[in-house]
A and B are shown apart, each in its own frame.
Chain A
Amino acid sequence: MIRLENVTKEYPVPGGRRRILDQVSLTLPGDRNIALLGRNGAGKSTLLRLIAGTVEPDEGRIVRDARISWPLGHKGGLHGTLTGAQNAAFVARIYERDPAELLAFVEDFAELGEYIHVPVSRYSTGMRGRLAFGLSMGIDFDTYLVDEIIGAGDARFRAKCRDWLRARLGRANLIMVSHSPNMIRSFCNAGAVIEDGQLFFYEEIEDAIASHLLNLDLRPRRRRQPMTEGAA
């Protein structure tokens, strides 16, 4: 369960600040897989990082009673000068796991072979993604935070990542930002829509998608509106 209490968050945009959450109080249940929906720039990724705790609210607070992952996505928390194995040891230590066990798991999962003992700066993007996803599966989180991307590497490896995540969802839950309706429908059974500084929770994922589509339809971006609208 993640509870937002009176949370306000702004972030700087060119020419000012945008308020992405305006005194939001809401509880995201810990037994649902929740899609975060919203238009581009509405603050989905920032909300995900607020939930993770890497970003802090300007006002209010966020209460968590679960072990929450770091946001999985484009940028992993891998240190370039450390080898894959050394990164695994670091992650194991900060999450109170046995470094040898996590290393054994991730060696097997990420299929990096000898590269596990090479500095991560020499990895390809795909290899980094495989290591980062492997590490997140190696730590038993209660809630996984996913930013757009599940898994990495080639099609076969991405399918493996999705299978692992799906299997994990028996005992863990998921909060996911995605623009892909297929992905959302196949992983999520509830939704939260962020719009104009407000956050709405929907028990049914289809209701959330419908509400999101309605937002896109009814309230186009201000700059697309004709200049003469006021006079007309």
Chain B
Amino acid sequence: MSTQLRILFALMMREMATRFGRSAGGFAWAFLEPVGYIALLSAVFILLSRAPPLGHSFPLFFAAGFLPFFVFRTISSVTATAIRFNQALLTYPSVTPLDTALARFLLQFLTTALVCLTILAALWAWEGEWPVIRPLYLAQAFLLAAMLGLGIGLLNAVLFSFSPTWERVYSILTQPLFIISGIFYLADLLPPEVRDPLHWNPVVHLVALMRMGVFAAYDAPQADPLYVLGIAAFCLLPGLFFLHAWRARLTEQ
């Protein structure tokens, strides 16, 4: 166990060296991307409407929508590409494909947790009044987004290695995710014939759960943590299994 922790630590340090180490901009970029999206959405919607659907701050409404999507998307993508970015290091017998994926997951988990807390704290401070929030819902939404990202990321780490076609198909399939996840609107206000199919998308649930944390008065009856957890587990278990069972084949490629 201590060997595995040592390997994970070494891989995380190695990851930080390339992602954040080369320039100060590396670490800033982790914040700038979500800040940019939230600012852009706010700027556009301030022109279109008088008030956001929830609360009275456009940036806070869009932060609550964008951040869970951001956590899920970045965690799933860094985990899925972990093997490719560390292929050379698999020469060392103690380093396994699963280690590379877990190390990237852990680093991204910590980074996005810091990013979410910082952005929300900054927006609350800007509001100038003590926010009425439900911290457990916030934590639940973040952890579920991370778990879903890990599950899909680990499964894709295996699938991408064996099928470059699937990597392209996955990229095309998830292109509309920004539009169909309720990030800049409330999915539960849509007519049922649109709303119900949208709820097959687990990110819709993540966004709704996050909003229930940020806006204490809001309730999204269709948001179901167990549905997200089920999909996460459904991907995570085969992902873990095949990363372990096929570690030699994934190393040799």
Interface residues of A (CB under 8 A from B): 52-56, 68, 70-71, 75-82, 86, 89-91, 93-94, 96
Contact = CB atoms under 8 A, between A and B. Distances in A.
User: Which 9 pairs between the two chains have the least Cβ-Cβ distance?
Assistant: A77-B91, A93-B10, A53-B93, A56-B248, A86-B17, A81-B18, A79-B88, A94-B10, A90-B14
A203 to B, nearest CB: 28
Contacts of B10: 90, 93-94
Contacts of A91: 92
A70 B252 CA distance: 14
Nearest to A51: B93
B18 A82 contact: yes
A53 B17 CA distance: 27
28 contacts: A54-B90, A54-B92, A54-B93, A54-B251, A55-B248, A56-B248, A68-B93, A71-B91, A77-B89, A77-B90, A77-B91, A77-B92, A82-B14, A82-B17, A86-B14, A86-B17, A89-B14, A89-B17, A90-B10, A90-B14, A90-B89, A93-B6, A93-B10, A93-B13, A94-B6, A94-B94, A94-B95, A96-B6
B14 A77 contact: no
A71 to B, nearest CB: 8
Interface residues of B, number: 23
A76 B94 CA distance: 15
B8 to A, nearest CB: 10
Nearest to A53: B93
Contacts of B6: 93-94, 96
A80 B251 contact: no
A91 B7 CA distance: 10
Contacts of B242: none
Given A89-B13, A90-B10, A96-B6, A70 B93 contact: yes
B7 A70 contact: no
A118 to B, nearest CB: 12
Interface in B153-208: none
Contacts of B37: none
B111 interface: no
A80 B86 CA distance: 10
A86 B20 CA distance: 13
Contacts of B17: 82, 86, 89
A105 B251 CA distance: 29
A79 B100 CA distance: 13
Interface of B: 6-7, 9-11, 13-14, 17-18, 21, 86, 88-95, 247-248, 251-252
Contacts, number: 61
Contact of A76 (B7, B11, B86, B91): B91
- Chain A binding surface SS class: loop
B18 to A, nearest CB: 5
A79 B14 CA distance: 9
Nearest to B251: A54
B35 to A, nearest CB: 26
Given A70-B92, A75-B91, A90-B11, 19 more contacts: A53-B94, A54-B90, A54-B248, A55-B251, A56-B248, A70-B93, A76-B88, A77-B90, A78-B88, A79-B89, A80-B88, A82-B17, A82-B18, A86-B21, A89-B13, A90-B89, A91-B92, A93-B9, A94-B92
Contact of B91 (A54, A68, A81, A89): A54
Given A54-B91, A54-B93, A77-B92, A90 B13 contact: yes
Contacts of A71: 91
A46 to B, nearest CB: 10
Given A55-B251, A82-B17, A94 B7 contact: yes
Contacts of B18: 81-82
Contacts of B93: 52-54, 68, 70
Nearest to A85: B17
Contacts of A76: 88, 91
A76 B92 CA distance: 9
Nearest to B86: A79
A15 to B, nearest CB: 19
A56 B93 CA distance: 10
A77 B13 CA distance: 16
A75 B90 CA distance: 11
Contacts of B252: 54-55
A90 B11 CA distance: 7
A151 B186 CA distance: 64
B229 to A, nearest CB: 33
Contacts of A68: 93
